[in-house]
Amino acid sequence: MPDRTTPYGAFNFLVNLNGPIGEDQPLGGFSDVSGLSAEITIAEYRNGNDRPNHVRKVPGVHKVGDVTLKRGIVNSTDLWDWITQTQLQSVAAKRTVVITLRDEAGNPVQKWTLGGVVPMKYTGPTLAAKGGGDVAMEELVLSSESLDTSAVA
């Protein structure tokens, strides 16, 4: 049984896009990751000769939600290069993306692995001269075919 009873903070995580740069040399950390979800559709079924007047619930197909990544713009074209690769190569541009939650000491404690991932939407920054202190943010929405999660021992 684990000794820790305090939940982990949501602010210490890594995103590995498994691109040409690699996990060890990220060009810009993401400030937000949202949409990690899996859903199983349920079909309701009832035999006509069932005595109880209620339906059975049968698990059906499953799907994975779209994941949104946000980060401050850095001097890198890695996200846009992946979008271009997807436009030109279609399914050959699919990647495995790993999101790792870390504890206060920086040790990995939980991983979410997205399989068959391609970018589906890019949103650039809102540029406004009046802000002054705002960070220029970019957003990438990923489409994923699978989601696996595991605790890191």
pLDDT tens, residue by residue, 100-130: 999 999 999 999 999 999 999 999 998 888 8
DSSP string, 58-92: EEEEEEE--EEEEEE--S--HHHHHHHHHHHHGGG
In this prediction, residue 1 carries a pLDDT of 47
Q: Tell me, what amino acid is at 91?
A: V
CA-to-CA dists, residue 27 to 23, 98, 115, 120, angstroms: 10, 16, 22, 21
What averages of pLDDT result for each successive group of 10 residues across the chain (153 residues)? 79 86 66 96 91 90 96 89 95 93 92 96 90 86 96 79
* pTM metric for this prediction: 0.86
What domains are there in the chain, each with its CATH number? 13-151 (2.30.110.20)
